[in-house]
């Protein structure tokens, strides 16, 4: 299994996605068994990115469905183009008269029109939405469904990466940053995540923060630099205050 999952991890790593052994295993099995992957976890840990990256790895079209309150089948599956159908009906009105011809029976006239109904009731009038696009795609596609709030419990839980994995992610995304500063930054983020906060910093916010440090030409994590850039890493004011009090002042 290790050789197989290492291949998966290598493919993902080439697109700057650092996968754990568990993620690589689930991706491999999903491919082999033709099953979907249902992911859950904190915001910003790479759930959506996994779908995007795997589409790139496999060369498949990425089809994305963003779920939200009020989403219905016309937005998820398909929409029927009534206006287009009515336009066709109007344009072909004279042809319909010829189809009916000189028949006097209503039933016979209806039967002749029914024989031509494929002209007016076909996929030509369907406006495909993500689900239908994925189902009817000639080539296999990656269907990415975001924000599913109701599903069975068989999820692949993606938690925050380990310190080593997150350091590798930062190295991939911000290669200009010195190894020492990258290590200090990631260590501090992991320290912050141990606090009881309203929203812990995501991996994406770690990357944004390290990019900010690079732009500021920071050479080390001194209290002033951290305090001045915490708003990049944390979005809640009470979280910022708590981190300043419990971590920054102790640096």
Q: What is the DSSP secondary structure assignment for residue 161, as one 8-state letter? A: P
Say whether 42 sits in a helix, a strand or coil: coil
Asked if pLDDT for residue 235 goes beyond 80, the answer is: yes
Please give the pLDDT value at position 99.
Answer: 72
Rounded Cα gap, residues 154 and 107, in angstroms: 55
Mean of the pLDDT values across residues 127-150? Answer: 86
Task: For residue 78, give the H/E element and its range.
Answer: strand 78-80
Contacts of 208 (CB under 8 A, 6+ apart): 232, 233
Q: Is residue 149 predicted with pLDDT exceeding 80?
A: no
Residue 244: left (phi > 0), alpha (psi -120 to 50), or beta? alpha
Residues 6 or more apart in contact with residue 103 via CB below 8 angstroms: 109, 112
Tokens of 227: 């305090």
Q: What average pLDDT does this structure show over 168-186?
A: 96
Mean per-residue pLDDT, 158-178:
95
Please state, rounded to an integer, the average pLDDT across all residues of the chain. Answer: 87
Q: Is the pTM of this model over 0.75?
A: no
With pLDDT > 70 as the criterion, what percentage of the chain qualifies? 96
Burial class (CB in 10 A: 0-12, 13-18, 19+), 101: exposed
Decide the pairing of beta strands 78-80 and 61-66: unpaired
Kindly give, in sequence order, each residue whose CB lies less than 8 Å from that of residue 137, ignoring residues fewer than 6 positions away.
Answer: 61, 63
Q: What percent of the chain has pLDDT over 90?
A: 45
In this predicted structure, what is the pLDDT of residue 92?
76
Q: What is the mean pLDDT of residues 92-113?
A: 75
Confidence of residue 151 (pLDDT cuts 50, 70, 90): very low
Q: With 90 as the cut, is the pLDDT of residue 186 above it?
A: yes
pLDDT at residue number 117: 72
Return the pLDDT at 67: 84
Say which residue, 95 or 142, is predicted with more confidence: 142
Which of 1-10, 53-62, 133-142, 205-214 shows the lowest per-residue confidence on average (mean pLDDT)?
Answer: 1-10
The 10s digit of each residue's pLDDT in 5-44 is: 899 999 999 999 999 988 998 999 888 888 888 888 888 8
């Amino acid at each position: 299994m290790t050789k197989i999952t290492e291949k998966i991890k290598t493919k993902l790593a080439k697109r700057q996605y650092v996968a754990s052994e568990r993620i690589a295993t689930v991706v491999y099995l999903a491919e082999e068994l033709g099953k979907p992957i249902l992911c859950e976890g904190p915001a910003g840990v790479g759930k959506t990115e996994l779908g995007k990256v795997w589409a790139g790895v496999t060369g498949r079209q990425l089809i994305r469905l963003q779920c939200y309150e009020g989403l219905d089948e016309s937005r998820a599956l398909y929409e029927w183009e009534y206006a287009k159908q009515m336009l066709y009906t109007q344009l072909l009105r004279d042809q319909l008269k010829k189809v009916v011809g000189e028949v006097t029976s209503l039933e016979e006239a209806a039967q002749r029109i029914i024989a031509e109904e494929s002209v007016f009731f076909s996929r030509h009038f369907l406006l495909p939405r993500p689900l239908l696009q994925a189902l009817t795609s000639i080539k296999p596609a990656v269907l990415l469904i975001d924000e599913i709030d109701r599903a069975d419990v068989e999820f692949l839980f993606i938690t925050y990466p380990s310190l080593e994995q997150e350091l590798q992610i930062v190295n991939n995304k911000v290669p200009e940053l010195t190894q020492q500063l990258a290590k200090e930054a990631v260590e501090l983020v992991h320290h912050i995540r141990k606090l009881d906060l309203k929203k812990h910093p995501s991996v994406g916010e770690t990357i944004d923060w390290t990019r900010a440090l690079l732009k500021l030409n920071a050479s080390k994590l001194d209290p002033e630099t951290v305090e001045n850039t915490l708003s990049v890493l944390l979005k809640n004011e009470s979280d910022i205050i708590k981190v300043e009090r419990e971590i920054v002042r102790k640096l």
